[in-house]
Amino acid sequence: MERRTIGAAALEVGAIGLGCMPMSWAYSGSQQRGDRSMRTVHAALDAGVNLLDTADMYGPFTNELLLGRVLKERRADAFVSTKVGLLVGDGHVVANGRPGYVRRACDASLRRLQTDVIDLYLLHRPDPEVPVEETWGAMAGLVAAGKVRALGICAMGVRAARRGSGGAARDLYDGTIRQLERVQQVFPVSAVQAELSVWSPEALVRLLPWCEARGVGFLAGMPLGNGFLTGTLTPGGGFEPDDLRARHPRFTAEMMAANQPVVAGLRRVAARHGEDVTPAQVALAWALALGRHVVPVPGTKQERWAVENARAAELALTAADLAEIGRLPAARGSWD
């Protein structure tokens, strides 16, 4: 697979990553199987995917434990990205950016992942009660101690950002950019992770250009629109109660039906590249075409989809393809 070099630390990663969250968190709990997920990770590594994206809160903790079983055998094949800063309580999530906690959490993640170094350590969410410079300083200390290679930040999700911005796309990531500029004075930011897809393009306005101008890598989260852009979901098919899409306004039967033209457009582009090319691969190739600092990180727990996603790195979209995708209707349905 093509390799991309991102960030001040010159991190080399595969052009497509693997989001491991669905294996342990937020999607269809009854379908989560540890052995099957391990096979998925192995298949992704075999296909050239080396960036494995996880977080201590996924599970919580079980996602890192699962990856640790794979890394024990294949650490040299993997680029490990995990996150710190969020704690899971009874039905809620809270931020904790206290320096002491950050140091303890890193040691715990290293144990679970069965490794002596984390390649990319991401701040999952700044703690409003702790100056972000203090949290970032503690994370920089982990680099100095040899426990972490490079640092990054997860940008606030679109839904959360819109609650504080009135919904204007140009304002969605203003707060994140201000925080990035503050922490850059403490220690270099190597990567930013934020949602970016054909049906959620808000990061294109300011956040992606900010990263490109500074040589910061951009990890495109949810590049398949929580599965919608794969074209495999049926409007009205329903989701398990623990699946985040069961409460997502864009995944009502009405909105899924209304957004079918987006998938139809991706299918048209895919058909021009061969009968084996899928809408999901087109959506990932679109993200890759945004710049060599962009690495889409689709999540899956199934081996079949991990391999299909990896093959998207071989798909070169034409200028006409990109123009057609650019003309697709904006996705309908609120994120609030």
Residues 6+ apart with CB under 8 A from 55: 21, 63, 64, 82, 83, 84, 86, 122, 124
> Is 121 designated active site?
no
Q: pLDDT digit string (tens) for 291-320?
A: 999 999 999 999 999 999 999 999 999 999
Q: Name the residue ranges covered by the structural domains of the chain.
A: 3-223+290-314
pLDDT at 253: 92
Tell me the two tokens of residue 45. Answer: 């590594």
Q: What is the CA radius of gyration of the chain?
A: 19
pLDDT at 165: 40
Instruction: Output phi, psi for 239, to 5 deg.
Output: -135, 155
CA distance 99 to 259: 44
Q: pLDDT digit string (tens) for 188-205?
A: 999 999 999 999 999 999
Query: 139: part of which helix (H) or strand (E)?
Result: helix 132-144
Judged against a pLDDT cut of 50, whether residue 161 lies above it is answered with no
How does DSSP classify residue 128? T
| Mean pLDDT in residue range 138-149 | 98
pLDDT at 143: 98
**Average pLDDT taken over every residue of the chain:** 92
Q: Is 224 left (phi over 0), alpha (psi -120 to 50) or beta?
A: alpha
pTM beyond 0.85: yes
| Three-state secondary structure call for residue 295 | strand
In CATH, the number for domain 3-223+290-314 is 3.20.20.100
| Mean pLDDT in residue range 140-156 | 96
Tell me the two tokens of residue 51. Answer: 């960036």
The catalytically annotated residue of 27, 58, 121, 173 is 58
Q: Is the peptide bond before 60 cis (omega within 30 degrees of 0)?
A: yes
User: Per-residue confidence at 166, pLDDT binned at 50, 70, 90?
Assistant: very low
Instruction: Output phi, psi for 86, to 5 deg.
Output: -125, 140
User: Per-residue confidence at 31, pLDDT binned at 50, 70, 90?
Assistant: low
